[in-house]
Structure 1
Amino acid sequence: MTSCPALMISAPASGQGKTSVTAAIARHARQAGKKVRVFKTGPDYLDPMILERASGHPVYQLDLFMGGLDHCRGLLAQAASESDLILVEGVMGLFDGAPSSADLAEAFNLPVLAVIDAGSMAQTFAALALGLQRYREGRIRLCGVVANRVGSEGHGRMVAEGLPADLPLVAALQRRQDLALPERHLGLVQARELPGLDAQLDEWARAWGAASAGFEFAPVDFAAAGFTPEPAPVPRLAGRRIAVAQDAAFSFIYPANLDCLRRLGAEVLLFAPAEGEPLPDCDALWLPGGYPELHAPALRANKAFFSGLRAHLAASKPLLAECGGMLALAVSLTDAQGQEHAMAGLLPGQARLQTRLTALGLQAITWPEGELRGHTFHYSTFETPLPPIARASNPNGGKAAEALYQQGSLRASYVHHYFPSNPEAIAAFFAG
C-alpha cells in the first residue's frame, strides 16, 4: 500500500493527554480489526510502551535530528505498506523544540489533531485552538481538536463555541481520574508494571468510540512524496552474537536499535538480569538505560550476571553501557532514599540519584568510529576519575554535554544512542 490513513496527535503543551488519546485511538482501531502502526515524535521510551500495548505493535521514533529525514521516510513507507492506520504522537507542544512536532507534520504532510486539556476553561478553548490552527497556516493542517478532561456534556458544548467549520470538535472526553496513568521521576510508569493496563486501554477505546462518531482519517500518499523503505546495510556483524539486557531494570530500548543490529547481521540475544538470568554466551553486550536504582537488590543478588560481566570484559569483548546500564557497572549506586547499593564495580566511580532532573536534551557525540546521535535524560550523577574520550553537544545550545568513557573494551555514557544514526560506527564497535 502506498497510501494510508495517517494522523499526528499533538497539543499546545505537555500534560494535555496526548498519550492517552493516541492509545485510545489505536486500541479502538485495533478492536475494529485494523492494523495500526504508532510512532512517537522525538526521544521517549515510556510513552511508546503504553502505545505498543494499545496497538499490538512496537512503536518507533520519528526524529529529524536523531534519525534524519530519509530514515523517517523509510519508517513511514514501511508502515504504510503493512497497516491500515498510522498514528504519530507528538512531543511537548505542537511548535516546541527544534525540530518540533509541527516540523515533522510539515515534512510528512500529516494532518494534526490537537488535544487540549479543557478542565479549567470554557470558550477560551476555541481561541487556543484557533491559535494553533493559524500560527503556521498553509504549512500544517489542523484537522480537528479534542477537548480532554471536560467536566460534563454541557462543558463539552461550551468549549466548542467559536470553533470554525474547518476546525471541528472531534471529541469531548470526560475527566476520569480512575483512568489516569501513574508517573515517577522519569515519566510514566512502565507498561509492564501496570497489571490493569489492558482494561484501562479498553475503557479509553470505548470512550473514544462513543465521543468521536463520524470522524474519518484522511489518507496520506507516501509513495507520491517519494517515501521508500531504507536499503539494507552491509551485514558487517554477520555471525556475531550480541546480548542485550531487557527487563524492568534495563528497558530503555529503541526497537530501531534492535532492528539495526539485526540488519547488520547480528544475532540478538535478549536476557533479563533483574529476573536472575545470567549473561548468555555472546561476542558483545549492550546494557541499555532503565531503572537499576529500583532493582539494585535483584541485580546484586544475581551473582552470575556480575561475574559474567567481569569475564566478558576480561576477554576484551565489546560492552556498551548507556545511562542506567553505566550506573549498574559503577562501584556503588545510591538510590533516591539515600540507600547505597554495591554494583558491579567494573567502572570506577559512584552514582547517586538526585531529587531534580540533572540533564535533558538531544545529543550528538563523536565516537572514534564516527558521529552518533541520541539524547540524555536522567536524575542521577556519576563521579568517576576516568577522563572522557569525547563529549557530546546539544544541537539546540542546551547545557547537556555528556561524557563518553572508555576502559578497555567497555564504552559508557549517559547518552542513549540511536543506532540508525550511524550503523557503520555501531558495526565497527560491536565487531570488536
Structure 2
Amino acid sequence: MSTTGSCPALMVAAPSSGQGKTLVTAALARRHRDAGRRVRVFKCGPDYLDPMVLERACGSPVHQLDLFMVGEAACRRLLHDAALDADLILVEGVMGLFDGTPSAADLANRFDLPVLAVIDGSAMAQTFGALVQGLATYRRGVNLAAVLANKVGSARHAAMLEESVPSGVQWLGAMPRNADIALPERHLGLMQAQEIGDLEDRLAKSAASLPDAATWLPPPVHFGGSDGPSTRLPALLRGTRVAIARDEAFGFIYPANLACLRSLGAELRFFSPLNDPALPECDAIWFPGGYPELHLAALSQNKRMISSVRDHHSADRPILAECGGMLYCLEEVVDSGGRRAELAGLLPGSATMRPRLTALGLQQADLPGGSIRGHTFHYSDASIELAPSWFATRPGGEQGEAIYRSGRLTATYAHFYFASGPQAVAEILGPG
C-alpha cells in the first residue's frame, strides 16, 4: 500500500469482446488476493454485470472508470484513493482496446496504465503475433506491456503462439480451453453473479488455471493527488427514505449511485418487486434496470406490490424508473416468446422484447435539476402514449433516449450515473 497515490496497476484489454478479459481479470484478482495482496478492481465503461463477478473475485466494490460518464477528475480520484489502499489495481477494459469514444485505450493513455492483452488463441497460430503487433503499434501513447493467450488447446499450441509474439511485449503464458471456468452469458452479457450457483468454484479454477508468469506485478503507476473538485455534496435528500428495487429482476445498480444517494443524505431501503407484498415505508422509489422480461409472470402476479406502487404514484411521490424499471411501470410488456404481462401501468403504453440490441451508447440529459450523464443498452422497443418531457443527447450531439415525466414519475431507457449530476438526482427523488 502507498501513501503517495502510487500502486502497481494494469489494464486488462482485448482486441474485441468475447476474448475472455472478464474471466482473466477475475482470475488475476482472485490469484493475487489468495496470495495475500489487497486488490482493487475497476471496470472501464458503463457495465453492471462484469463488476458483479469482479467484486466476488476481489472482495471489494468495483467502480466504473469512464472519461465521459464519470469524468477525468473523478476517475483520477478513484484511482488515487484505491492506490492508497491497495497492493495492485486492475482495470478491465471494454469491448476492443480501441473501440468506442472514449475507449479503453483513451483511459490507459490518460492514466499511464500498462496494458495486458487477452487474446482468444483457439483458432489461430502465428496470426496471434500479428494481432499483438497491431495492438502494440496502432496508437502512440498506449503501452502494450504483456499478452496472455486464452482458450489454448495444448502445450504445443501455446508454444506456437509464444513464438509469434514480437519483442518488447512480455508473454505471460496461456490459459487452457475449459468449459468449467467459462462465465455463463445471456442477451445483455454475463449472468448476474448471484445467479451463477458455482461462481466460487469457477473463480477458484480460473485462478488455478493462470500460468505462474501471469502473477507478475506491473510497475507502480502514480495517479497524482486527489485535489480536484470537492466530493462533498450538499444534503439535498436529508431525511428522504428512498426505496430501491433490488432482486433477480432489478439489479443494475452502480455502487457509486448508492454512495451518491447516501452522500446526499438519503436513507436507503431495499425491496423486492418479485417477492415483497408491499413497498417499505418510503418517500421515493428507484426502479433500476435489470431483467424484468425474465420474470414477467411473477411481477405481474404480485398484485399487492403493484397496488402499493400505484398508491405511491397516486400520492404524487417521486419515482425514478430506468430501462427495465421503466418497463415495470408500463401497462404491458411482451417477452421474446410473445407472452404478455400486465404490469404497474404508471405510464400509458407497452414494450416488446426484440432478438437484437435496439439501442447502445452514452447519454447526457439536461434536466430541471441540472445535467446528468449515463448510458443506454436495451433489447426492447417501447410504445409510450405520452409526449417526452426531454430527450437525452449522445456525446456527438445526436438525439438520445426520451425521458418521460408523469406526475412525480421520471422514466427513461437511460441508466444514470448519479455522481455526474447529484442535483438532478435530488430534484427527481426529492420532495419537490
Question: TM-score normalised by the shorter chain: which range applies?
Answer: over 0.9
Secondary structure of 1:178's partner?
A: coil
Superposition TM-score, scaled by structure 2 size: 0.95
Contact 1:77–1:227 (8 Å) recurs in 2: no
Pairwise CA distance, 1:57: 1.4
- Which of 70, 74, 78 is matched with 1:75 structurally? 78
Pairwise CA distance, 1:226: 5.8
Secondary structure of 1:427's partner?
A: helix
> C-alpha separation between the residues in 2 aligned to 1:431 and 1:103?
36
Contact 1:76–1:227 (8 Å) recurs in 2: no
Counterpart residue number, 1:144:
146
> C-alpha separation between the residues in 2 aligned to 1:375 and 1:179?
30
Counterpart residue number, 2:251:
251
Whichever residue aligns with residue 425 of structure 2, its letter is: I
Whichever residue aligns with residue 430 of structure 1, its letter is: L
Tell me whether 1:234 sits opposite 2:237 in the alignment. Answer: no
Pairwise CA distance, 1:123: 1.3
- Which of 98, 108, 113 is matched with 2:101 structurally? 98
Q: Which runs of 5+ in 2 are unaligned?
A: none
Number of residue pairs matched? 428
CA distances 1:257-309 after superposition (whole Å, capped 9, x unpaired): 11110111111111122233521111111000111111122222323321221
Contact 2:80–2:226 (8 Å) recurs in 1: no
Superposition TM-score, scaled by structure 1 size: 0.95
CA distances 1:212-252 after superposition (whole Å, capped 9, x unpaired): 266222211223x6666952111211111111111110011
- Which of 187, 190, 194 is matched with 2:189 structurally? 187
Contact 2:251–2:290 (8 Å) recurs in 1: yes
Contact 2:77–2:226 (8 Å) recurs in 1: no
Tell me whether 1:48 sits opposite 2:51 in the alignment. Answer: yes
What is the correspondence of 1:137-176 to structure 2 with a 5 Å cutoff? 137=140, 139-176=141-178
Change (3 A) 1:229 1:11: farther
Q: Percent identity?
A: 54
User: Root-mean-square deviation (CA), in Å?
Assistant: 1.6
Secondary structure of 1:403's partner?
A: strand
Counterpart residue number, 1:332:
332
Contact 2:320–2:409 (8 Å) recurs in 1: yes
Secondary structure of 1:75's partner?
A: helix
Tell me whether 1:425 sits opposite 2:430 in the alignment. Answer: no
Q: Which runs of 5+ in 1 are unaligned?
A: none
Whichever residue aligns with residue 402 of structure 1, its letter is: E
Whichever residue aligns with residue 65 of structure 2, its letter is: L
Change (3 A) 1:424 1:214: closer
Change (3 A) 1:387 1:96: same
Contact 1:243–1:270 (8 Å) recurs in 2: yes
Contact 1:75–1:229 (8 Å) recurs in 2: no
Contact 1:10–1:18 (8 Å) recurs in 2: yes
> C-alpha separation between the residues in 2 aligned to 1:107 and 1:13?
21
Counterpart residue number, 2:217:
216
Secondary structure of 1:406's partner?
A: strand
- Which of 130, 138, 142 is matched with 2:133 structurally? 130
Which 4+ stretches in 1 moved above 4 angstroms? 225-230
Counterpart residue number, 1:405:
404
Pairwise CA distance, 1:329: 1.0
Question: 257-266 or 267-276: which moved more?
Answer: 267-276
Counterpart residue number, 2:369:
369
Pairwise CA distance, 1:178: 2.8
Whichever residue aligns with residue 86 of structure 2, its letter is: S
Counterpart residue number, 1:200:
202
Counterpart residue number, 1:108:
111
